Copies of this chain bind each other. A is one copy, B any other.
Amino acid sequence: KQECEVLFFPDNRVACKSHFIGEGCGKLGCHFSHEPNSLSKLFEYLTKARKSLDVCVFVFTCSSLADILVEAHKKGVVVRVITDDEQVDVSNSQIWKLRKEGIIVRTDRSSFFMHHKFVVVDQAFLMNGSFNWTNQAITGNQENLMITYSTDLVQQYSQEFDKLWKQFNPQ
């Protein structure tokens, strides 16, 4: 069990999801990356989830990452998503796809930003940094995503997630 890892972006190319976490990629001349990079590691961390994925992210437009949440949800992982209300309807937003598949997404209903970008997986590890779930963050921007198994940190972000989850309950 490693204590921490840091993923820096941008990657040169988008990682091939099938190659890293799917049934393998049979595409001749596949133009996605089959070499490990930051995104492929993110894919792998997210697919470690067995019980819960608590995702708190400001902008969510990357369809591969949405697909991973949907696949986890279908396998019985409890997926909860918090995002910014103004980001729900931007071009390529994945929020409606998540909702259509039955994943509950809550928003801040405020003109300020729900600006966090963190995930708590199985209450076991935390991923946190500057990284929004967008294609621009993967291959364009300078970004960081820190993974830690520190129980103290995992608990503090879990508590913050639960606090916001209640606060943003629409009922």
- Which residue numbers of A lie inside 8 Å of B, CB to CB? 3-4, 6, 8, 10, 58, 108, 112-118, 128-132, 136-137, 140-144, 146, 150, 152-153, 156-157, 160, 164
The minimal Cβ–Cβ distance linking A139 to chain B, given in whole angstroms, is 9
The minimal Cβ–Cβ distance linking A157 to chain B, given in whole angstroms, is 7
19 additional A-B pairs beyond A4-B152, A113-B141, beta carbons within 8 Å, are A3-B150, A4-B150, A6-B156, A6-B160, A10-B112, A58-B130, A108-B142, A112-B141, A112-B142, A113-B136, A113-B142, A115-B141, A116-B142, A116-B143, A118-B130, A128-B128, A129-B129, A129-B130, A130-B130
The minimal Cβ–Cβ distance linking A140 to chain B, given in whole angstroms, is 4
- Of all A-B residue pairs in the complex, the 3 with the closest CB atoms, nearest first, are A112-B140, A113-B141, A115-B141
Q: How far is the CA of A157 from the CA of B8 in the complex (A)?
A: 9
- Asked if B113 contacts A140 (CB within 8 A), the reply is yes
User: Please, which residues of chain B bring their CB within 8 A of the CB of A116?
Assistant: 130, 142-144
- Asked if A115 contacts B128 (CB within 8 A), the reply is no
Q: How far is the CA of A30 from the CA of B4 in the complex (A)?
A: 43
